[in-house]
Amino acid sequence: MEIPSNNKIFILLPDGIGLRNFAYSNFYQLGITKDFDVVFWNNTPFNLKDLGFDEIKIQNAKTHPTTDIYKNARKQIELNLNINNTRDRVYDTYRFPFPYHTIKSCIKSSWTNWLTFTNSSPRGLKNIRAKIEQQERKTFFYHQCLKTLQEHNPALVFCTNQRPSLAIAPILAAKDLKIPTATFIFSWDNLPKATMVVETDYYFVWSNHMKKELLAYYPYIEEAAVFVTGTPQFEAHFNTSKILSREDFCKQHHLDPAKQYICFSGDDITTSPYDPVYLEDLAKAVSSLNDNGANLGILFRRCPVDFSNRYNTVLEHYSNCITPIVPLWESVGEEWNAILPTAADIDLQINTIAHTEFVINLGSSMVFDYVAFGKPCMYVNYDPEISERKDYIKMIYNYVHFRSMPSKEAVIWLNNPDEIKAKIVQALQKEQATNTIQNAQLWFDKIVAQPADQASERIWNAIQNIVSKT
């Protein structure tokens, strides 16, 4: 397929979410080798020129004052429609309480609720979507975007994340100039949660499973506009040149090469408020096994945006068996979304996986990171005694994205603290873990287009397909 004469592709980074997939992977270089002129339209604080990338910095990006209100109403309406269409109350669990602690938040929350109440129908949703676009076209940011696009005239604008409000104006500007637009669905759980904010001409999804979800939740999207590409986030796992020797990895992190290490992967405080309890339960089990002749350790990787001190007591008390490995993210501001990943953290993560036996967490996609290395995952599956509610874990695993499991045996379930020791022994016995790994691989195959290390290639093929037709 020939590259058209206009081969400039704008990669829109409305926030730092897309850095890992599209700046720290081989995505940029692959586009260059395909004779595209790749330019990052960069709204992050990071200077991508330092990495050798061509970029255009976005300055003073700001949404219309009412956009967040309409965006939040859109989410509530979509969740209401999902409940009506499926008769499934699971979509209620994706809602967060509205704030009312200030006069401003009271006004915004009341306005959102009123818009939701008066527009909870397909026609009402269409009106809300149109209102968002109408308001964003009034902004100074939109007119800045028009000017940038008129000056550079890219063949396509590709947005790396469908969720940020700040991506609406650039995409609208491109569409108004008849420049094709596409967006990437960032995460495996995004579509059931009604996180769609950006509306583009084309959509890139992880798998056929996600394509079916997209078309079901957004029936106004045509099937021909959806490309199954996979996601670049797993590509680094297949680059063996990045893996350090056991000796070097252990030396870097002051570990004992003779020990077998278990990774405990922490989540954010909202999703998993009792992670310190789970870490302590694991540490007790490991300590007991070590007292009986085992030689085990725990590598603790906290959620990169969790800077709380909630783990301190556990880490101090079990310092003989827990080694924290701090994620290599950089803080460029005070808000949680100003903590951004670095290229070095990708190397740290894949080496942590390579040099641990398995991972324990509360329902994260780390199951796919580990199965890419042929290793199992354990899911915590109990509410601790100190929990104020005893159905939280049940709610978590009832989320729609967990229903995609081909088999419940895709992970090892930790149903109570007393069985952790036995489950550790099971996971360490390769023949016992084989069934779990095989089922996890089936799940991985369903969620991510295979081969998983060729997602960037498929994305560029899709871009080439689009611009060649234009």
Q: Is residue 3 part of a domain?
A: no
Residue 382 is encoded by which pair of tokens?
A: 């109990």
Residues 310 and 407 occupy one common structural domain: yes
188, 206 in Cβ contact below 8 A?
yes
Q: Is residue 1 part of a domain?
A: no
Residues 405 and 267 occupy one common structural domain: yes
Residues 152 and 37 occupy one common structural domain: yes
Low-confidence ranges of the chain (pLDDT < 70): 1-5, 333-338
CATH code for the domain of 346? 3.40.50.2000
Residue 307 is encoded by which pair of tokens?
A: 């800077």
Residues 96 and 198 occupy one common structural domain: no
Residues 105 and 176 occupy one common structural domain: no
Residues 397 and 366 occupy one common structural domain: yes
331: exposed, middle or buried (C-beta count within 10 Å: 0-12, 13-18, 19+)?
Answer: exposed
**Boundary (domain end) residue, out of 135, 153, 186:** 135
The structure's pTM equals: 0.95
**Boundary (domain end) residue, out of 90, 114, 135:** 135
Residue 1's pLDDT is: 44
Residue 123 is encoded by which pair of tokens?
A: 């026609």
Residue 5's pLDDT is: 63
Residues 124 and 249 occupy one common structural domain: no
Residues 32 and 154 occupy one common structural domain: yes
Q: Residues 144-151: contacts with CB within 8 Å, 24+ apart? A: 144/58, 144/59, 144/60, 145/169, 145/170, 145/172, 145/173, 145/174, 146/173, 146/176, 146/177, 148/41, 148/56, 148/173, 149/10, 149/173, 149/174, 149/177, 149/179, 150/177
The DSSP-derived string for 341-353 is --HHHHHHHHHHH
Give the pLDDT confidence of 135-193 residue by residue, as tens digits: 999 999 999 999 999 999 999 999 999 999 999 999 999 999 999 999 999 999 999 99
Tell me if the bond preceding 97 is cis, omega within 30° of 0: no
Residue 335's pLDDT is: 54
Report helix, strand or coil for 327.
coil
Residue 331's pLDDT is: 76
Closest CA to 436 of 428, 445, 427: 427
443, 410 in Cβ contact below 8 A?
yes
Q: Which domain holds residue 420?
A: 240-447
Q: How far apart are CA 410 and CA 462, in angstroms?
A: 31
Residues 80 and 57 occupy one common structural domain: no
Residue 223's pLDDT is: 98
Contacts of 104 (CB under 8 A, 6+ apart): none
Residue 96's pLDDT is: 92
Residues 266 and 170 occupy one common structural domain: no
319: left (phi over 0), alpha (psi -120 to 50) or beta: alpha
249 Cα distance to chain centroid: 27
Residues 275 and 388 occupy one common structural domain: yes
Number of domains in the chain: 3
Q: How far apart are CA 348 and CA 344, in angstroms?
A: 6
Residue 337's pLDDT is: 54
Q: Fill in the amino acid letter for 297.
A: G
Residue 133's pLDDT is: 98
Residues 125 and 148 occupy one common structural domain: no
237, 369 in Cβ contact below 8 A?
yes
Residue 307's pLDDT is: 85
Q: How far apart are CA 411 and CA 433, in angstroms?
A: 9
